[in-house]
Amino acid sequence: MNKLTLSINQSVIDEAKEYAKSNGKSLSKIVEEYLKSLSKPEKSEKRKSPHKLVMELKGSVKMPKELISYKEILQDALVEKYLKK
């Protein structure tokens, strides 16, 4: 494994170390994972995207207490449009 020297603001380093510690990883491992994700954006997005999208959407749609089928909704709309005037 090779070493790399970076110039980074001390406050950023402190926050990054705290983040790494709270996630049970080394700062080097986090930087390595981040650099890998930059070199393979398509693969990373495909793998993480569905779960991330589902988690973002979770709870955003409120379902009615009584579920009505699509056919019932369509039937009601057609009756309203053509039979009720």
The per-residue pLDDT for range 7-55, each reduced to its tens digit, is: 999 999 999 999 999 989 999 999 999 888 888 755 545 555 677 778 7
Per-residue confidence (pLDDT) for residue 24, from 0 to 100? 92
Distance of alpha carbon 31 from alpha carbon 2, whole angstroms: 13
pTM as predicted: 0.45
DSSP three-state, residue 32: helix
Domain boundaries, the chain: 10-82
Distance of alpha carbon 40 from alpha carbon 47, whole angstroms: 11
Distance of alpha carbon 11 from alpha carbon 82, whole angstroms: 68
Per-residue confidence (pLDDT) for residue 51, from 0 to 100? 77
Burial class (CB in 10 A: 0-12, 13-18, 19+), 22: exposed
